[in-house]
């Protein structure tokens, strides 16, 4: 077993390499000029900073060690030199150029400098392999870089948001399994009775109920009937457990409802199949009661496919939590991915996708190991 786990962990390395190559490749293949989109979202601030940096670089080359202490007259002279050169490239005479034309020339310089800086940060000034290697060499050291807008540390954002999504996902998984397994078992044992019909109908309703509708309904009814509103700001579990659970418990339950519908129907189907097996009839013929046969012999074998689905639901929980994180203002990883895509924060997008890929691979490994526990016939060599 230990050798199998070690081998699977080693095989994760080429898988992660392949995922990183694909993610970076897809980013380069996105339609439109990504740099122009980024510039348009932070044009004023980013262009002003880029033009100032360009002037500072010229001042350093001119022999000033600290650009911040340079006299204003010298800084203005360097700025005018840059603007005059741009006017000449545009076919205008710097001596007769109007104030508007000089401002336009300065904006063109700043825009180009800002775009060049973004291309360097993203790695678009290098070829695909160089860009991938630069990102990978930093990622293996635990450095996912900084955001393009604002220069915030991506590592800090991930450390803040991953525990939030983990808590929400675990609560959703807990409620999903807690609801699905007992109801699926009861529905199979009581096949074609009123209990079976009730739970099968409930499972269909759970599958058909959109999470955004359930969340909106809960918020509206809580305010209408109980005069209660959910906390506005998220608090860490270890800082304020009461406020944390007030905000996370309900969306976790809604997330679990969506998962429980699929698990309940699968549990029922697997239980019906197992209950028709010869060894179950033999156990009953030997005098074992109904529920001991079900719990000791049928459930364990019926859970093997169910465990597989639970493992496959991990990425679904991450994606499905986006709507709930948005509605309840929960600062999770799904919300961060959405904001990163909207703001074209490509370093953050790559980092989040790699973390999600790692979580999926680890969950698949846990599922495979669970097979050996549930079914002694399975040997992981």
3-30 pLDDT tens trace: 777 888 888 888 888 888 888 888 777 6
Q: What is the mean pLDDT of the chain?
A: 80
The pLDDT-based confidence of 291 (bands split at 50, 70, 90) is confident
Neighbour count for residue 56 (Cβ, 10 Å): 17
Question: Token digits for 151?
Answer: 């220069």
User: Strand pairing partners for 235?
Assistant: none
Least Cα distance to 21 among 361, 354, 345 occurs for: 354
CA distances from 299 to 184, 240, 267, 269, 275 (A): 10, 39, 9, 12, 9
The predicted structure's pLDDT at residue 123: 67
Question: Model pTM?
Answer: 0.74
Residue 295 has pLDDT above 80, yes or no: no
Alpha-helix residue ranges (DSSP H) falling in the chain: 2-28, 34-41, 43-61, 72-89, 99-122, 128-139, 154-189, 194-208, 211-226, 241-275, 278-285, 290-293, 299-327, 333-342, 346-374
Residue 190 has pLDDT above 80, yes or no: yes
Q: What is the mean pLDDT of residues 171-182?
A: 88
Least Cα distance to 168 among 211, 210, 221 occurs for: 211
Residue 381 has pLDDT above 60, yes or no: no
Higher pLDDT, 33 or 177: 177
CA distances from 305 to 177, 256, 266, 301 (A): 14, 19, 8, 9
Return the percentage of the chain with pLDDT > 90, whole number: 0
Q: What is the mean pLDDT of residues 27-35?
A: 64
Q: What is the mean pLDDT of residues 316-329?
A: 77
Q: What are phi and psi of 62, to 5 degrees?
A: -80, -5
Cα–Cα distance measured from residue 300 to residue 8, given in angstroms and rounded to the nearest whole number: 25
Spatial CB neighbours of 131, under 8 Å, sequence gap ≥ 6: 24, 28, 122, 123, 124
Cα–Cα distance measured from residue 374 to residue 160, given in angstroms and rounded to the nearest whole number: 36
The predicted structure's pLDDT at residue 46: 61
The predicted structure's pLDDT at residue 170: 87
The predicted structure's pLDDT at residue 31: 60
Higher pLDDT, 33 or 197: 197
Q: What is the mean pLDDT of residues 222-232?
A: 82
Q: Tokens 């199979």 sit at which residue?
A: 188
Least Cα distance to 334 among 345, 320, 351 occurs for: 320
Task: Count Cβ atoms within 10 A of the Cβ of residue 142 and give its class: 0-12 exposed, 13-18 middle, 19 or more buried.
Answer: exposed
Q: Mean pLDDT lowest for which of 28-32, 131-135, 230-234, 311-315?
A: 28-32
Residue 101 has pLDDT above 80, yes or no: yes
Residue 285 has pLDDT above 70, yes or no: yes
The pLDDT tens digits of the residues spanning 55-81 come to 888 888 877 777 777 788 888 888 888
Dihedral (C-alpha) 70, 71, 77, 80: value to the nearest 10 degrees?
Answer: 80
Angle of CA points 270, 272, 273, to nearest 5°: 65
Spatial CB neighbours of 15, under 8 Å, sequence gap ≥ 6: 357, 361
Residue 372 has pLDDT above 60, yes or no: yes
Higher pLDDT, 242 or 63: 242
Supply the Cα-derived Rg of the chain in whole angstroms.
29
Long-range Cβ pairs for the range 201-208 (8 Å, 24+):
202/264, 203/260, 203/261, 203/264, 203/265, 204/261, 205/261, 206/257, 206/258, 206/260, 206/261, 206/264, 207/258, 207/261, 207/262
Return the percentage of the chain with pLDDT > 70, whole number: 88
Q: What is the mean pLDDT of residues 250-269?
A: 86
Residue 37 has pLDDT above 70, yes or no: no
Higher pLDDT, 260 or 49: 260
Q: What is the mean pLDDT of residues 324-335?
A: 85
Q: What is the mean pLDDT of residues 238-264?
A: 85
The predicted structure's pLDDT at residue 54: 80
The CATH number given to 154-374 is 1.10.3720.10
Cα dihedral across residues 325, 326, 329, 332: positive or negative: positive
Residues of the chain with CATH 1.10.3720.10: 154-374
Cα–Cα distance measured from residue 68 to residue 54, given in angstroms and rounded to the nearest whole number: 13
* CA of residue 87 relative to chain centroid, distance: 46
DSSP state of 203: H
């Amino acid at each position: 077993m230990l050798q199998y786990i070690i081998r699977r962990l080693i095989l994760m390395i080429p898988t992660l390499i392949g995922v990183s190559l694909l993610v970076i490749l897809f980013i380069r293949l996105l339609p439109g000029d990504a740099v122009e989109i980024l510039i348009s979202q932070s044009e004023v601030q980013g262009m002003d900073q880029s033009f100032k940096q360009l002037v500072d670089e010229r001042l350093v080359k001119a022999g000033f060690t600290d650009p911040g202490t340079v006299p204003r007259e010298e800084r203005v002279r360097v700025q005018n030199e840059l603007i005059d050169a741009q006017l000449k490239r545009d076919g205008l005479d710097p001596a007769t150029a109007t104030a508007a034309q000089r401002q336009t020339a300065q904006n063109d310089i700043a825009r180009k400098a800002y775009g060049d800086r973004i291309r360097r940060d993203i790695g678009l000034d290098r070829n695909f392999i160089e860009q991938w290697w630069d990102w990978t060499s930093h990622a293996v050291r635990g450095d996912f870089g900084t955001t393009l807008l604002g220069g915030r540390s991506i590592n800090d954002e991930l450390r803040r948001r991953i525990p939030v999504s983990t808590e929400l996902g675990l609560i959703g998984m807990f409620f999903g399994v807690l609801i699905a397994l007992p109801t699926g078992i009861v529905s199979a044992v009581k096949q074609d009775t009123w209990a079976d019909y009730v739970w099968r109908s409930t499972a269909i309703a759970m599958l058909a109920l959109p999470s955004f509708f359930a969340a909106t309904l809960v918020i509206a009814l809580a305010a209408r009937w109980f005069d209660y509103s959910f906390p506005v700001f998220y608090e860490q579990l270890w800082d304020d457990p009461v406020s944390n659970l007030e905000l996370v418990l309900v969306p976790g339950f809604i997330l679990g409802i969506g998962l429980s519908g699929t698990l309940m129907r699968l549990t029922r189907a697997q239980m019906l199949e197992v209950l028709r097996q010869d060894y179950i009839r033999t156990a009953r013929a030997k005098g074992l009661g109904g529920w001991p046969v079900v719990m000791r012999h049928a459930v364990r074998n019926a859970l093997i496919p169910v465990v597989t689905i639970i493992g496959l639901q991990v990425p679904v929980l991450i994606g499905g939590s986006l709507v709930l994180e948005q509605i309840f203002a929960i600062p999770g990883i799904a919300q961060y991915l959405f904001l990163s895509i909207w703001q074209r924060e490509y370093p953050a997008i790559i980092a989040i996708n790699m973390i999600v890929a790692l979580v999926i691979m680890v969950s698949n490994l846990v599922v495979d190991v669970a097979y050996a526990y549930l079914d002694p016939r399975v040997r992981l060599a």
